Homo-oligomer: A and B are copies of this chain.
Amino acid sequence: MLETRIVTLLTDYGLRDSYVGALKGAMLSIAPHLMIIDVGHTIAHQDVIEAAYTLKGYYREFPKGTIHLAVVDPGVGGPRRPILAETRNHFFIGPDNGIFSYVYQQEQVSQVIHLTAGQYFAPEISDTFHGRDVFGPVAAHLASEVEARWFGKWVEDFIKLPLPQLRAAAGALAGEVVHVDRFGNLVTNIDLASFYALVKGKRYRITAGAESLESISRSYSDGQPGQLLALFGCQQTLELSVNKGSAANKLGKGRGLQVTVQAV
Contacts and interface: CB of A to CB of B under 8 A. Distances in A.
**Count of chain copies:** 3
B16 A231 contact: no
Given A28-B37, A54-B17, A221-B74, A127 B42 contact: no
B126 A236 contact: yes
B234 A61 contact: no
Interface stretch (A44-52, A163-171, A204-212): A44-52
A141 interface: no
A21 B58 contact: yes
Interface stretch (A7-15, A110-118, A194-202, A255-263): A7-15
A128 interface: yes
A129 interface: yes
B127 A61 contact: no
A26 interface: yes
Nearest to A46: B244
A43 interface: yes
Interface of A: 5-6, 8, 10, 12-26, 28-29, 32, 35-46, 50, 53-63, 66, 74-78, 126-129, 132-133, 179, 181-183, 218-222, 231-234, 236, 239, 244
28 contacts: A14-B181, A14-B183, A15-B42, A16-B40, A16-B43, A16-B54, A17-B54, A18-B55, A18-B57, A19-B181, A20-B38, A21-B37, A24-B37, A24-B61, A24-B62, A25-B66, A26-B61, A32-B63, A38-B38, A74-B244, A76-B221, A77-B221, A78-B218, A126-B236, A128-B220, A128-B232, A128-B233, A128-B239
